[in-house]
Structure 1
Amino acid sequence: MNEQSDSWFSPASPPPHWDPEQADPNRYVDPALQQVQYRQPAAHQQPYYGGYPDHQAAPVAYGAPAPGMDAIPAQAPVATAPGSESNLYEHQFEYQGHYDAGHQAPVEEKPAYEIPEIPETGWSAAPSRRRRWIGRILLLGVLAMQALLSLRLSDSASPEEAVNLVVGRQQYDHLLDGTAVTTDLVDRVPGSASLYPALAGAADHLGGLTAVRLLSLVFTLIGTALLYSVTRRMFNERVAASAAAAYAVLQSTVVVGYYASPDALALMLVAFAAWIVLYTDRAPVFAVLAAAPVAALAAAVNHTAVLVLPTLLLLAVHTAWPYKGPAQGILRGGMLGLATAALLVVTGVFTDISDSTLSRGQGSESTTDILSLSLQWSGLFLLLAIGGSIAWVRRERMNEAVDVDSVPGSPLRRAALGLTLCATAVLVPLLQAQLHTSAGMFRHIAFGLLLAAPMAGLGITRMIGAHFRHPQLGILVWVLMLALGISQSADRSESWASSGSLAKVLSEHVDGKGTYLTAVDGLPQYYLDAETSPGQWTSLREGKVADVTKGRYGLIVLDTTSAAAGSARDKAITQAIRAGGHYRLIAQLPHRDTGKAGVYRVYVKQ
């Protein structure tokens, strides 16, 4: 066999044999093609590509044609000199004919299995339906747990709840039949008296205190769901679930979730305003104006919400900066700020805020005690938020997925956003410390923690690490926050347990004709609504020392933990009770308020 033979004959064809009659010793003839001549194909015919090496001559005769094919008449071979530039590969074989009826045209066979294209990673960080549903299921679990933690706090009404409900009843009656509002507790409502109190009065008319608290629970759950959506927009589902789970177990969240006050509604509105700001970051600049009425309404419902409005403005700037540039981002924040301020001024809410919240009377508590309480209620949460901000500044992503397509951000801008959100969490404690009172701080602190929650969720995920490297650390921190939330909310609820005992004692010594003086605003008016009218009760802040000395009040209630406790008026009234000789002490009921032990003292006229 020629040493070059395996370079041109097919392994499927029979081996060539040696033809001694041929002059060329290198010429081979295929016995299966001896009767077939070859020729140059016509231009309109489909060629069969084949041939022989340049130094070989084409065979003169070939074997019989294949079954079902017509043989081509023999023609003279084309002579080709050895070494000529003419290539026999250009001479192509052709069968003129057709397939018989029993033969089918060849069908290209598909492989039984094709290797799919292998992605660079085994998973993708891109949004997907499966990822969204897993996040929603986790959110439902968080909301269910939050509801259970709040519903267990079913005690008697606190003084603040009683104030809201007394005003709410009168506001509801005023809306229905125009009855005049006669109570002097309107200025004790931490917001507009015509907004939440009227809603609470309607709920109280339908189902009493339980219905009003359930309304607050609905508002709080919606606020947590909006927090999840906001955090998911800023980061991803994992951070959003961590933020919602951490925020849901805080003492302030648990208590406000079953508390008849404007805080739950205002928190939901703040979360809704932040949601609008986040989801319009790539829309036209004027779209952010949709958040202005929501933010203004939140400040009107609860005046404490005005403290977090600057954070919403800065959030509008930071979120639009990567997509629209610094000029458009600053314009966006400025438009939101001007629109919100205009609404507050036009509606008169700004004047009410400056009179009630920013110019509130000074208390007697020390700054150290107030800040210590704040650290007990939110210290661990704030530490997580600060840690998450620092980790985010150092590294924007954990690089779990290499195919993430995102707008890169500068460390300076990330630091500014993290500082803005974390600083919001300390605004309320600093204001309370400046006023030297912790009254209501356990509720108001939730406003700052709501906006700092995304950074706290980021801190938990960075603690766990990429690909859930250290899940035990995240679980440990969350369980610790859960234990603190359960313990602190239970202590808060127990401080209201003596409200029912106080109402029982008072009901035995009041009627519909007398005049009464109380330092516990709201409780007597709410629980003794059937025996007395709100106009019969005078607040200790409005009572006159001379009337006490003359014995004009049929009953006096003092509280050692009230806002007026220790003030000059409180001391003067206590001295008048002792010096006048018209009153005798009939009951002393211990209670706790804001972690401090107090006593209700009840005096009746002799």
Structure 2
Amino acid sequence: MSTITPIHPNERIPVWRLAIASFFPAGVRPRIASWTRHLPLAAILLAQVALSLRLSNSAFEDEALYIGAGHDYLQQLFSGTPVTVPYGDSFSGLPMFYPVFAAALDTVGGLSLVRLFSLVCMVATTLAIRATAQHLWGKLHGNLTAAAFIATGPVLFLGSLATFDALCLALLSAAVWIGTTRCTYRSAVLMGALLAAAAAAKYTGFVFIPVVLAMTLVGSQRRPLRVILAAAVTALVLALVYSLVGPSISGGIAFTTSQRTALMPASLSVLAAYLVQKIGLLLVLALAGAALLARSLRSTLLTLVLLSGAALLPLAQMRLGEYVSFEKHLAYSALFLAPLAACALGSLVHRRLGRLLVVALVWTLGLTGLAGSWAMYQWPDVRPVVELVEKVGAPPGQYLAPATARTLGYYMADNPRIEWTEHYALFDSGQEAMRASIDGGTFRMIILRSGSTGNVKEDSRTSFFRELVANSDKYRLVAAPVPVRRYAEENWLVYELVTP
């Protein structure tokens, strides 16, 4: 039993459960009353599933990249075709881990199945963090933790995104659950393996290893040597993995994590505004819960560990001024803020009108999460472009598609005659190289967008290239501009080479 005292240890069976049981024969009422205790959790999980599944769009660029890489590794495994692309130089996770699994799922059920796996991971995360909170503070706090977690926009977003993050979160939360609720040395070995797997799935997971170990140490007084054993297993597994594939992934670790520089710079005020917009209410509730929880040395230490875990990624990205992935990384913060927010919500339940206030706060969290997850899911939909390309016969050749080449390549993978090309090398070569590529008819088709990329330098180069194409007699639009997504003012501009 945990040494941390529940805020309300004498929990009684709620009236609503007794009311439901009263509709059944007397002989089965105790069993019905027992079953109904699972209804709040079932409702929370159903809400999480429904709210994540409502998000719909074509493949995101990262999804297409990871799944495509996984297919390359599977092809190498089964046919011996070597992987020529150095994925390890740029991936934020082990290329041979999640991408391979995602590609296997894609082979069976397409992108929908890969995204469904992410949803399963996020549901597992909810269950793990709920079970941890229940062990520490009681069932009410467990359910409130789950509710606060799934009401967060980035959490709902990751439940419908096929990237490294959902798997990493599931592994981290499982390690927290095992470390906090179990007491055997065997469980410590499993905990260490899970932490190593989380760091391999996404290198960012490595920074949470001390947080999880510290949470295990202060969250339970059972055998502190378990923490040392778990740390040793984690280090051993990661050292073994690095000894096998280190040279191929060291560049990616540096590029995405240890020596990262801002890929899309943003000011501190902009990032702070995004943080408030996405998890502001959750943060306020968590700080209130932290003040309530810090009543003893052990509880205070646990509070500090949770707040530290929540602050790691936002503070790191604010220091770098990095906008890329800032919003989705707030799901990691939610993992550690939700238990604290539940303490604040739980303190209101037994007050006058407290339950009504709790419902109102969770409802507000949910509305914010709905709006936030929907906004994060509004990247350009490439499916209209695929239809246009297929409509004109998908002529063979080199296709230039700035920022969408990987995604279009994913949807048209069965057409090997098309060579999809990104714009980076061409744009970095300068304006004369851009002009020469247009005058020489280098590309069979060119797919552009009419709007802003959010990067001033990139916008300037794209605007120059767009003018070159529009004013050239070498290229023509294959159709009228098509919106990049519903209700968007930005359009797809699909050009084809004019053949004599």
Range into which the TM-score falls when normalised by the shorter chain: 0.7 to 0.9
Pick the aligned partner of 1:496 from 373, 376, 379.
Answer: 379
The answer for the alignment partner of 1:203 in structure 2 is 105
What is the aligned-residue identity percentage?
Answer: 24
Give yes or no for the alignment of 1:548 onto 2:434: yes
Q: Which amino acid aligns with 2:234?
A: T
Aligned counterparts of 1:566 and 1:420: Cα–Cα separation in 2: 39
The answer for the alignment partner of 2:197 in structure 1 is 297
1:22-101 to 2 correspondence within 5 Å?
none
Aligned counterparts of 2:176 and 2:459: Cα–Cα separation in 1: 43
SS of the residue corresponding to residue 277 of structure 1 reads helix
Q: 1:588 to 1:416 in 2, by over 3 A?
A: farther
Aligned length: 453
Q: Which amino acid aligns with 2:107?
A: H
1:163, 1:189 within 8 Å by CA — same for their partners in 2?
no
The answer for the alignment partner of 2:456 in structure 1 is 566
Largest Rg, 1 or 2:
1
Q: 1:522 to 1:134 in 2, by over 3 A?
A: same
Aligned counterparts of 2:68 and 2:120: Cα–Cα separation in 1: 22
The answer for the alignment partner of 2:265 in structure 1 is 364
1:239, 1:458 within 8 Å by CA — same for their partners in 2?
yes
Pick the aligned partner of 1:221 from 123, 134, 138.
Answer: 123
Q: For each residue in 1:153-196, what CA deviation from the matched residue of structure 2 results, as whole angstroms up to 9, or x when unmatched?
A: 13322222222222233233333333333557665543122111
The answer for the alignment partner of 2:5 in structure 1 is none
1:491-530 to 2 correspondence within 5 Å?
491-493=375-377, 495-496=378-379, 498-507=381-390, 508=392, 510-514=394-398, 516=400, 518-530=402-414
Q: Which amino acid aligns with 2:298?
A: R
Aligned counterparts of 2:34 and 2:137: Cα–Cα separation in 1: 13
Q: 1:577 to 1:479 in 2, by over 3 A?
A: closer
Give yes or no for the alignment of 1:454 onto 2:339: yes
Q: Which runs of 5+ in 1 are unaligned?
A: 1-122, 395-410
Aligned counterparts of 1:555 and 1:182: Cα–Cα separation in 2: 25
1:224, 1:244 within 8 Å by CA — same for their partners in 2?
yes
Q: For each residue in 1:545-591, what CA deviation from the matched residue of structure 2 results, as whole angstroms up to 9, or x when unmatched?
A: 2653321333444566558x433x77457546656976657476655
Aligned counterparts of 1:335 and 1:388: Cα–Cα separation in 2: 31
Q: Which amino acid aligns with 1:511?
A: P
> How far does residue 510 in structure 1 lie from its aligned partner after superposition?
4.7
SS of the residue corresponding to residue 404 of structure 2 reads coil
Q: Which amino acid aligns with 1:541?
A: Y
The answer for the alignment partner of 2:422 in structure 1 is 539
> How far does residue 295 in structure 1 lie from its aligned partner after superposition?
0.8
Aligned counterparts of 1:470 and 1:244: Cα–Cα separation in 2: 19
> How far does residue 238 in structure 1 lie from its aligned partner after superposition?
0.4
> How far does residue 248 in structure 1 lie from its aligned partner after superposition?
1.3
Pick the aligned partner of 1:149 from 43, 51, 62.
Answer: 51
1:289, 1:336 within 8 Å by CA — same for their partners in 2?
yes
Q: 1:373 to 1:212 in 2, by over 3 A?
A: same
The answer for the alignment partner of 2:240 in structure 1 is 346
> How far does residue 497 in structure 1 lie from its aligned partner after superposition?
5.6
The answer for the alignment partner of 1:274 in structure 2 is 176
> How far does residue 509 in structure 1 lie from its aligned partner after superposition?
7.8
Aligned counterparts of 1:539 and 1:345: Cα–Cα separation in 2: 35
Q: For each residue in 1:307-346, what CA deviation from the matched residue of structure 2 results, as whole angstroms up to 9, or x when unmatched?
A: 32221021122124x455xxxx4x5544433442343343
SS of the residue corresponding to residue 398 of structure 2 reads coil
User: Which of the two has greater helix per residue?
Assistant: 2
Q: Which amino acid aligns with 1:492?
A: M
Aligned counterparts of 2:406 and 2:152: Cα–Cα separation in 1: 27
Q: For each residue in 1:27-77, what CA deviation from the matched residue of structure 2 results, as whole angstroms up to 9, or x when unmatched?
A: xxxxxxxxxxxxxxxxxxxxxxxxxxxxxxxxxxxxxxxxxxxxxxxxxxx
Aligned counterparts of 1:144 and 1:124: Cα–Cα separation in 2: 28
Give yes or no for the alignment of 1:382 onto 2:280: no
2:154, 2:331 within 8 Å by CA — same for their partners in 1?
yes
Q: For each residue in 1:251-301, what CA deviation from the matched residue of structure 2 results, as whole angstroms up to 9, or x when unmatched?
A: 112121122222221111111111111123x445x7523211111111111
> How far does residue 418 in structure 1 lie from its aligned partner after superposition?
0.8
The answer for the alignment partner of 2:298 in structure 1 is 413
SS of the residue corresponding to residue 518 of structure 1 reads coil
2:145, 2:339 within 8 Å by CA — same for their partners in 1?
yes
1:246, 1:481 within 8 Å by CA — same for their partners in 2?
yes
The answer for the alignment partner of 2:6 in structure 1 is none
Moved more, 479-488 or 515-524: 515-524
Aligned counterparts of 2:489 and 2:319: Cα–Cα separation in 1: 23
Q: Could you say what the CA RMSD is over the residues aligned between the two structures, in angstroms? A: 3.4
> How far does residue 440 in structure 1 lie from its aligned partner after superposition?
2.2
Q: 1:209 to 1:230 in 2, by over 3 A?
A: same
1:265, 1:301 within 8 Å by CA — same for their partners in 2?
yes
> How far does residue 461 in structure 1 lie from its aligned partner after superposition?
0.3
1:240-259 to 2 correspondence within 5 Å?
240-259=142-161
Aligned counterparts of 2:54 and 2:92: Cα–Cα separation in 1: 25
Aligned counterparts of 2:300 and 2:334: Cα–Cα separation in 1: 18
> How far does residue 243 in structure 1 lie from its aligned partner after superposition?
0.4
1:316-335 to 2 correspondence within 5 Å?
316-320=216-220, 322=221, 329=224, 332-335=226-229
Q: Which amino acid aligns with 1:382?
A: L
Give yes or no for the alignment of 1:261 onto 2:163: yes
SS of the residue corresponding to residue 385 of structure 1 reads helix
Give yes or no for the alignment of 1:171 onto 2:68: no
